[in-house]
Amino acid sequence: MEGSTSDTELRALVEHFYHFGIKHPGSKIGKLFEDEIFSRFQALGLNPRKQEIPITAWECREWSLKLDDEIIESFYIPYTAFSSAEGVKAPLVFLNPKNFDELHDSIHGKIAVVEFEFPDLVGWQLKAMALKCIDPENEIPNSTIHPATWIRLHWDLYHKAAKAGAVGFIGVLKNQPGNNCRYFAPYGFREGDDILKKPIPGLWVSGLQNEKLRQAMNESKELRLLLKGQSFQSSTSNIIGVIPGSGPNNFLMGCHHDTPFLNAVEDSSGMAALIKTVEEIKKIPQLKHSVYVIATAGHFYGSIGTRKFIEASTELLGKTSLALWMEHFGFSAVEENGKLVSAARAETPGIFCSFNKGLVRRLEKLLLKYKIFPALILPPESPLGNYPPTDGGDFHAHGVPIINFISNPVYLLVDDDRLEFVDYERIINFSKMSCELLKSLDHSNLENLKNRDYGLRRKILNFLASLMKVSH
């Protein structure tokens, strides 16, 4: 496929989105990118509109962590409170769930430190959880695949430390591949409107700094933590277009348009896939049912765009037969000399699908046809959460049948996400597959998509999820 016109144009599109800048919700660049997407939807004949959403934007301008005269490499924890101009200076206290109650009374006036060790993604566990494992060449190992770098166990210690009187917070990223501390999280995915309720300033450091911090605590040394910036009233917007049909039902498809850094995979690749899929659909005879195309706002602001779209679209959702979401088309990464580089093989996606056997069978057939494998068709509710960890996951929580494509390579939430990681061939194959999927559903009995199957599997997954909650 290399060298074809479609591939060349796709590469140019992804690179344009990538170089556009850091698209934080409510920022100047974020708003300019919304205009860019609006114009592209216009050019595609989608008759777009903007759904503007007021927000309190958060912008960090300066941060630092100092031990005596030494600067310790760090990065801000987004949406935490800003410090004074001088910062906060205090001794450290290391916390974990086992010693928190014991140390509770000694936390006041100190900077709390918590070590975050991401849990491993284990192949056999994911296969056992999956509704279908699409792996004809046996590429998914049974052993550990890589750390799940979006899962921050024990983040609740931040809020507990704040309530106990801590004046600052340091999170140690013990096993982030590449030892990068420039990590944009948490960003409100499970917090919703509580995203700004983080009352003390916080910084991330890499695992390389852990021993230095422990030594400083043992020697009762004080560290100075600085986090300066501003919060201001702003807005962000969903961009909503439509390929109109005459039928009574509709399909939704979308991707979020904001990014944490200058990101190639998260989610310049997803936005390019959305536009490419629209182009594929426009090539075929008109679908009977309408297709709503949504570039959602504020994934990195508590998924506010998806939530506000749902709030304003009760009637539309009642007629929606499928929400097809697409995020992150990238290669896996490996460490070389302490840096992350492309492994030149596709990151295995998790494709979250409703508990519907007919939809799963249809999806499996198309994944094999378009060579989108290895892949895991995952349940929408499981020990991973009660709805998919995608920007389209909320649709499942509101009763809409879903297919949510996402991959989670280890560089997504750090600033290692570069153009070399983008899997262009998979974007093209996915767009063609999505077009065929919607075309085939357009002529089927859409009421069948509302069936909930896998009764025994659902009971087992719910039981496992309850055990996970108890253990955490």
Residue 330, pLDDT above cutoff 70: yes
Mean pLDDT of 280-297: 94
Mean pLDDT of 460-471: 72
The span from the CA of 433 to the CA of 425, in Å, is: 12
- The interaxial angle of helices 270-283 and 424-442, nearest 10 deg, is 50
Mean pLDDT of 407-414: 96
Residue 5, pLDDT above cutoff 60: no
Can you give the pLDDT at residue 469?
Answer: 58
Task: Tell me the pLDDT band of 204, cut-offs 50, 70 and 90.
Answer: very high
**What tokens were used for 453?**
């199957």
Could you give the C-alpha distances from 441 to 160, 276, 290, in angstroms and in order?
Answer: 49, 19, 12
Which one-letter amino acid corresponds to residue 188? G
The span from the CA of 68 to the CA of 49, in Å, is: 54
Task: Tell me the pLDDT tens digit for each residue of 360-386.
Answer: 999 999 999 999 999 999 999 988 788
Residue 426: which of 303, 355, 329 has the closest Cα?
A: 329
Percent of the chain, pLDDT > 70? 98
DSSP letters for 136-155? TT--S-SSEEEE-TT--TTT
Mean pLDDT of 275-281: 96
Give the angle 326-333-423 at the CA atoms, nearest 5°: 40
Can you give the pLDDT at residue 468?
Answer: 62
**What tokens were used for 155?**
């983040």
Contact between 238 and 41 under an 8 Å Cβ cutoff? The reply is no
10 Å Cβ neighbour count for 120? 14
Task: Tell me the pLDDT band of 6, cut-offs 50, 70 and 90.
Answer: low
Residue 48: which of 236, 243, 235, 234 has the closest Cα?
A: 243
Contact between 418 and 329 under an 8 Å Cβ cutoff? The reply is no
* Phi, psi (rounded to 5 degrees) for 399: 80, 15
The span from the CA of 109 to the CA of 191, in Å, is: 26
Which residues 6+ apart lie within 8 Å of 192 measured at CB? Answer: 302, 303, 307
10 Å Cβ neighbour count for 252? 24
The span from the CA of 391 to the CA of 394, in Å, is: 7
Task: Tell me the pLDDT tens digit for each residue of 64-97.
Answer: 999 999 999 999 999 999 999 999 999 999 999 9
* DSSP assignment letter at 31: H
Contact between 435 and 277 under an 8 Å Cβ cutoff? The reply is yes
Residue 393: which of 429, 430, 427, 350 has the closest Cα?
A: 350
Residue 193: which of 49, 53, 16, 390 has the closest Cα?
A: 53
Can you give the pLDDT at residue 471?
Answer: 39
* Phi, psi (rounded to 5 degrees) for 201: -65, 145
Residue 2, pLDDT above cutoff 70: no
Helix (H, G, I), strand (E, B) or coil at 46: coil
The span from the CA of 294 to the CA of 252, in Å, is: 7
Distinct helix (H) and strand (E) counts, the chain: 13, 19
Which residues 6+ apart lie within 8 Å of 182 measured at CB? Answer: 75, 204, 261, 414, 415
For the four alpha carbons of 130, 136, 140 and 142, in that order, the dihedral sign comes to: positive
The span from the CA of 352 to the CA of 379, in Å, is: 6
Task: Tell me the pLDDT tens digit for each residue of 143-198.
Answer: 999 999 999 999 999 999 999 999 999 999 999 999 999 999 999 877 777 899 99
Q: What is the pTM of this model?
A: 0.94
Task: Tell me the pLDDT tens digit for each residue of 224-277.
Answer: 999 999 999 999 999 999 999 989 999 999 999 999 999 999 999 999 999 999
Residue 297: which of 21, 16, 92, 35 has the closest Cα?
A: 35
> How high does pLDDT run on average in the chain?
94
**What tokens were used for 281?**
């659909």
Residue 40, pLDDT above cutoff 60: yes
Give how far the C-alpha of residue 61 lies from the chain's centroid of Cα atoms, to the nearest Å. 24
For the four alpha carbons of 227, 229, 233 and 239, in that order, the dihedral sign comes to: negative
Mean pLDDT of 342-352: 95
Task: Tell me the pLDDT tens digit for each residue of 84-140.
Answer: 999 999 999 999 999 999 999 999 999 999 999 999 999 999 999 999 999 999 999
- The helix (run of H) or strand (run of E) holding residue 242 is strand 222-243
The span from the CA of 199 to the CA of 106, in Å, is: 19
Task: Tell me the pLDDT band of 472, cut-offs 50, 70 and 90.
Answer: very low
Which residues 6+ apart lie within 8 Å of 99 measured at CB? Answer: none
Contact between 443 and 288 under an 8 Å Cβ cutoff? The reply is yes
The span from the CA of 237 to the CA of 229, in Å, is: 23
**What tokens were used for 63?**
């941060």
24-28, 235-239, 350-354, 379-383: least confident range: 379-383
* DSSP assignment letter at 349: P
**What tokens were used for 157?**
């210690």
